[in-house]
Amino acid sequence: MSLRLSTVILPYRRWHEGGRSAWQRAEQLGFHTAYTYDHLSWRSFRDGPWFGAVPTLTAAAAVTDRMRLGTLVTSPNFRHPVTLAKELISLDDISGGRITLGIGAGGTGFDATALGQEAWTPRERADRFAEFVPLLDRLLTEDTVSYQGDYYAAHEARNIPGCVQRPRLPFAVAATGPRGLTLAARHGQAWVTTGDPKLYEDGTPAQSVQAIRRQTERLADACAASGRDFARLDKILLTGFTPDRGRPLESLDAFVDFAGRHQELGFTEIVIHWPIPDSDFAAQEKVFERIAMEAAAQLV
């Protein structure tokens, strides 16, 4: 299987000052999917412009025709399954069935406390995620849903007419722990990883590949336990968070080597960040565009 190449466009630019043109250019370059982050703010961008994921994707759907669109990733930190489902159904309709929901348990960043709550512990995040995903699945596939859980509730929530994509839009579940991997196996059409964050500062690329290999092995075990065909679950690597950092975008050859090592692990999609000057995602635009146009053909 050929490797799909996608990009993630951070929502830090005003729509009429480079925002719209980036999404249109991504489609022209042939990316399979263009994602955006679903955060209220993020890391070094906190004190600068940052726009909402759903409005951004709605606008992107209106100025593109073929490319898939999605989030990497949405989390329960400031989302509720009932309201999120309504927005996703609307997005899927506006885009003509081109939306993928990247979804994860969330972390301890700014989103975790922006609504005034204390940041949840890892166990609390896992508990909420385990309830969030199955409920969202139901909300996107059933006309009417009532539910009462420990963290979320729905009372006769209507979601007519449902998604354009049937039975619902695909989930790309970000996970590395056992409970998250089980959710990916049961509810995901794809699994997402950024690698092992413990290796980012002091690890090596070789160590990172081995850590990701172990993640895929645990995913295979979760699929087996859930009666899921591991081979039919797409595997997505969001780059920029492994010890390689920005080196894969330094040249076409460097990227093909990096992507090929992960393709051998079974990955079906590699996601690279749209270049952002003076940031961790800085890259030469000409090299980035060459990778977009030429790399996939070398990774068949």
**Tally of domains in the chain:** 1
The maximal CA–CA distance of the chain, rounded, in angstroms, is 54
Residue listed under structure tokens 């993928």: 100
Residue 300 has pLDDT above 90, yes or no: no
pTM, two decimals, is 0.97
The pLDDT value recorded for residue 1 is: 62
Q: What is the mean pLDDT of residues 229-255?
A: 97
Rounded Cα distance, 183 and 139, in Å: 16
Residue listed under structure tokens 């982050």: 37
82-137 pLDDT, tens per residue? 999 999 999 999 999 999 999 999 999 899 999 999 999 999 999 999 999 999 99
Using 50, 70 and 90 to split pLDDT, how confident is the model at 191?
very high
Give Cα separations from 132 to 112, 113, 173, 193 (angstroms).
16, 18, 12, 19
Q: What is the mean pLDDT of residues 218-225?
A: 98
Give percent of the chain above pLDDT 70: 100
The pLDDT value recorded for residue 289 is: 98
> What is the residue range of 209's domain?
4-297
**The pair of three-digit structure tokens given for residue 94, joined into one six-digit string:** 């506006």
**The pair of three-digit structure tokens given for residue 35, joined into one six-digit string:** 């994602």
DSSP state of 165: S
The pLDDT value recorded for residue 2 is: 80
Rounded Cα distance, 200 and 244, in Å: 8
Angle at 73 between CA 92 and CA 47, to 5 degrees: 115
Which are the contacts of 192, defined by CB distance < 8 A and separation ≥ 6?
72, 73, 102, 104, 172, 173, 174, 175, 236, 237, 238
Mean residue pLDDT of the chain comes to: 97
Q: What is the 3-state secondary structure (H, E, C) of 41-87?
A: CCHHHCCCCCCCHHHHHHHHHHHCCCCEEEEEEECCCCCCHHHHHHH
Which are the contacts of 80, defined by CB distance < 8 A and separation ≥ 6?
152
Rounded Cα distance, 60 and 47, in Å: 24
Q: What is the mean pLDDT of residues 25-53?
A: 97
SS3 content of the chain, % helix, strand, coil (to 5): 45, 15, 40
Residue 140 has pLDDT above 80, yes or no: yes
283-296 pLDDT, tens per residue? 999 999 999 999 99
Using 50, 70 and 90 to split pLDDT, how confident is the model at 41?
very high
Q: What is the CATH number of the domain that holds 86?
A: 3.20.20.30
